[in-house]
Amino acid sequence: MMQKFWRDEDGLGTLEILLIVAVLVIIAIAFRKWIMKWVLEMFNATQSEVTDQSTTIKGDATSISPK
């Protein structure tokens, strides 16, 4: 069955690829505000985590450094 699948020459044509891309673009445009909000929230969460970790590392370095 897998050999038949790999030998099958009926692949996706240009039209099918263009239709898939068009649908993805339409979905991205329709939900762009939601997508941008989601991405911004992810970046903000990442920034907060990096800041917290940086503060922790600085505190640890200060406490173990010789005086």
End-to-end CA distance of the chain: 72
- Percent of residues in the chain assigned helix, strand, coil, to nearest 5: 85, 0, 15
Q: What is the pTM of this model?
A: 0.50
| pLDDT tens, position by position, 3-57 | 776 666 666 788 888 899 999 999 999 999 999 999 999 999 999 888 888 888 7
Question: Cα-flanking dihedrals φ and ψ of residue 45, to 5°?
Answer: -65, -40
Residue 50's pLDDT is: 87
Encoded tokens for 53? 């970790």
Residue 42: the pLDDT is 93
